[in-house]
Amino acid sequence: MNNKSYEVEYEGFDAATKVSDTLSDEVTKSEADIQTCKEKLEAEDIFMGPIANSCKDIFSEISQKVNGIKDDITAIKNVISSISSTYKSSDNLAAKAFVDDENTDKRSINTKNIKEGSNVSAALSKYKDELANAEYATVNDNIFTTTSTEYINGQPVKVTHVVINDPSQINGEPANGEYRNGLEQASSAAKRLNSSILVNGSHFSSDGSEDLQGNNHVVIVNGEIKTDGVSGGQELFLDKDGNIYNAAGKSAQELVNDGVKYSFACHSTQVIENGDTSPSYNEPRHYMRTVIGQSNPGEYYIVTDTTQDNVLSDTAEYLKNKGCNNAYSLDQGGSVTLVRNDDVINTPRDGEERPVGDFLYFSV
C-alpha cells in the first residue's frame, strides 16, 4: 500500500464558522434591542414629540446598518463553508489517490465507487495510516473496517474499527434467524447474514433466549417486544439511527417508540456511560470479553480480548481515548468470537466456537 502523507486540518474552518455563528447571534440580539427601543420611543411620542421622532429615525438608520452587517456575516460564513467543502473534497480525492486497491485473503480494498462526502470517504482520508498498517481491512463504497492487534496495559487485544455510511448496516440477529430458536455458531451466522463484521451478543439461555439475570428486564428483537418490562440498566440498546446506549427506567414500549430495534442482555454492560468510565471499575475481574464502543454517528470500535488477563476499566480508558462516549460489554468468556466475513479471526477460549444466542453485526 502507498504510504504518502496527505493531511488537511479542518479545525480552523470549524472555528471560523463558530465565530460567524456567535457574531450573527449577537447582531440578532442587538437588532431585537434596537426594535425594543423604537417601540418604547413610540410609546413616549405624546410627551417627547419631535425629539422622539428624531431618535426613532436614528434607530431606524442603525437598524439598517445592523441588517447590512448581518448580511455580511452570512456571506462570510457561506464563503468559509464553500472553501471548507472544497478542501475536504480535495483531501478525500487525494486520500483515494494514495490508497492502492487490494484483494487478498486479509485485505479487500476497492475505492472506485466511494462517494465524496460519505462517512467512508472521510474515514479513508482520516485513517489512511491505520489502514496501511492494519492486519485485516475491508474498504468499499459502504464500509471501512480494519482489525489490528494492539496492547491495552500490556495485554494483547484485537481492535476492530468500523465506519458505515448508513445506520441500517449495524444490526442484531437471533441465532438461526428467530428468537428462542436454539443456539448457533458465529461463523454460521456470518455466512447466513453475509456480514462484514460479526461478534457474539447477549448472555443467553440454552433455548437461545436472552438470559435475564441481574438487571436485564427487557428483550427487543427487530423492533418487536419479546419480553415486556422496565430496563434495569444492564441492557445494551441499538436504535434505528445506529446509536448504542442503555436506558435504565424506560419501559420496553417507550424504547420501541424511541426507535430501539434490538436489545442485548449483558451482566456487566456499562463500560463508558456518556463519557464516564467509572462504571467499568465496578467489574474488577480479569476476564475475556467483547466490548463495543461508539465514537461518532456510524463509527464504532470493538475490542476482542485474546487472553483472560484484561480488566474492563483498562478497556474503558482505551476506548475513551479513541473518542468513544458510550461503550458496553457483551457476553464473555468462551462466547467471545470475532468474525470478519466468514472467518473467525480470534482464538475462542475453549479452543473452538461456542454456539450462542444472538449476534451484533455489520453488513455491507
Calculate Rg over the CA atoms of the chain.
Answer: 27
Q: 222 and 78 in one domain? A: no
> In this model, does residue 123 exceed pLDDT 80?
yes
Q: 185 and 327 in one domain? A: yes
Q: How far is the C-alpha of 196 from the C-alpha of 182, rounded, in Å?
A: 23
Task: Give how far Cα 62 sits from Cα of 34, 50, 59, 310, 364, Å.
Answer: 8, 18, 5, 66, 57
74-118 residue pLDDT tens: 888 787 777 766 555 555 555 555 578 889 999 999 999 999 899
In the chain, what percentage of residues exceed pLDDT 70?
A: 87
Q: 99: buried, middle or exposed (CB in 10 Å: 19+, 13-18, 0-12)? A: buried
256's grid cell: 420501541
Q: 175 and 52 in one domain? A: no
Report yes or no on 248 lying in a domain. yes
Backbone angles phi, psi at 62, to 5 degrees: -60, -40
Return the closest-CA partner of residue 200 out of 301, 335, 351. 335
Q: What letter represents residue 302's amino acid?
A: I
Question: Domain range spanning residue 312?
Answer: 143-363
191-247 residue pLDDT tens: 999 999 999 999 999 999 998 888 889 999 999 999 999 999 889 999 999 999 999
Q: How far is the C-alpha of 331 from the C-alpha of 286, rounded, in Å?
A: 14
In the chain, what percentage of residues exceed pLDDT 90?
A: 65
The pLDDT assigned to 2 comes to: 38
29-70 residue pLDDT tens: 777 777 777 777 666 655 566 676 777 677 777 877 777 787
Q: 150 and 72 in one domain? A: no
Report yes or no on 165 lying in a domain. yes
* 8 A C-beta contact, residue 126 and residue 7: no
Q: 316 and 224 in one domain? A: yes
The pLDDT assigned to 16 comes to: 77
Alpha-helical regions (H) of the chain:
11-43, 45-48, 50-97, 119-126, 128-133, 186-193, 252-257, 312-321
The pLDDT assigned to 7 comes to: 37
Q: 311 and 232 in one domain? A: yes
More confident residue, 337 or 58: 337
> In this model, does residue 8 exceed pLDDT 50?
no
CA 271 to chain centre: 15
Q: 150 and 88 in one domain? A: no
Report yes or no on 127 lying in a domain. no
Answer with the one of 97, 123, 158 that is the final residue of a domain.
Answer: 97
Answer with the one of 79, 97, 115 that is the final residue of a domain.
Answer: 97
Provide mean pLDDT across the span 269-291: 91
> In this model, does residue 309 exceed pLDDT 90?
yes
Q: Which residues pair with 328 in a beta bridge?
A: 270, 292
- CA atoms within 13 A of residue 120's CA, in its CB half-sphere: 24
Q: 299 and 175 in one domain? A: yes
The pLDDT assigned to 52 comes to: 65
Report yes or no on 129 lying in a domain. no
140-160 residue pLDDT tens: 999 999 999 999 999 999 999
Pairing outcome for strands 136-139 and 107-109: parallel
Provide mean pLDDT across the span 300-308: 97
The pLDDT assigned to 305 comes to: 96
Report yes or no on 121 lying in a domain. no
Report yes or no on 272 lying in a domain. yes
The mean predicted confidence, pLDDT, of the chain is 87
The pLDDT assigned to 1 comes to: 38
The pLDDT assigned to 41 comes to: 66
Q: 155 and 80 in one domain? A: no
Neighbours of 184 (CB within 10 A): 21
More confident residue, 234 or 168: 168
Q: Report angle CA 213, 218, 219 to the nearest 5 degrees.
A: 100
CA 14 to chain centre: 20
Q: 213 and 301 in one domain? A: yes
Report yes or no on 6 lying in a domain. no
- State how many domains the chain has: 2
Provide mean pLDDT across the span 10-32: 74
148's grid cell: 489490528
pLDDT band at 3 (very low <50, low <70, confident <90, very high): very low
223: left (phi over 0), alpha (psi -120 to 50) or beta: left
Measured in Å, how far apart are the chain's first and last C-alpha atoms? 23
Report yes or no on 28 lying in a domain. yes
The pLDDT assigned to 14 comes to: 72
The answer, as to whether pTM is greater than 0.85, is no
292's grid cell: 463495543
Q: 200 and 72 in one domain? A: no
Q: How far is the C-alpha of 282 from the C-alpha of 262, rounded, in Å?
A: 25
Q: 214 and 358 in one domain? A: yes
